[in-house]
A = this chain, B = another copy of it.
Amino acid sequence: MNEARTIDVGEGAAIPSRSDWGLFNAWTISITGAVGAILYLYFFQSTPYKRIAHYVADGIIITFQVTIMSILCACCIGLVVGLGRVSKNKAVNLAASTYVEVIRGIPLLVQLFYIYYALGRLLNVHDLTAAVIAMSVCYGAYMGEVFRAGITSIDKGQTEAARSLGFNTKQTMFLVILPQAWHTILPPVGNEFIALLKDTSLVSILAVSDLLRRGREISSESFLYFETYTLVALIYLVITLILSKGVSIMEARLSHYARQ
Query: Interface on A for B, CB 8 Å cutoff?
Result: 1-2, 4-17, 19-23, 25-27, 29-30, 34, 85, 93-94, 96-98, 100-102, 104-111, 113-114, 117-121, 141-142, 145, 188, 191, 195, 198-199, 201-202, 204-205, 212, 215-216, 219, 225-226, 228-230, 232-233, 236-237, 240-241, 244, 255
Contacts and interface: CB of A to CB of B under 8 A. Distances in A.
A100 B30 CA distance: 10
Given A113-B229, A117-B229, A226-B118, A107 B236 contact: yes
A88 to B, nearest CB: 10
Nearest to A115: B229
Contacts of A142: 11
A230 to B, nearest CB: 6
A23 B202 CA distance: 28
19 contacts: A4-B4, A5-B188, A6-B14, A8-B9, A11-B104, A11-B195, A13-B105, A14-B141, A22-B93, A22-B97, A26-B100, A26-B101, A101-B241, A106-B233, A106-B237, A107-B201, A109-B202, A109-B204, A114-B229
| Stoichiometry (number of copies) | 2
Nearest to A19: B2
Given A14-B105, A30-B105, 10 more contacts: A1-B255, A6-B14, A23-B100, A104-B240, A106-B198, A106-B240, A113-B212, A117-B219, A121-B225, A121-B226
Nearest to A98: B26
A225 B237 CA distance: 35
Contacts of A11: 9-11, 104, 142, 195
Nearest to A243: B105
A95 to B, nearest CB: 9
A204 B17 CA distance: 36
Contact of A110 (B27, B93, B212): B212
A188 B233 CA distance: 27
B2 A20 contact: yes
Contacts of A21: 93
Contact of A117 (B15, B101, B195, B225): B225
A201 B237 contact: no
Given A114-B230, A118-B226, A107 B145 contact: no
A111 B199 CA distance: 12
Given A102-B237, A106-B236, A244-B105, A22 B96 contact: yes
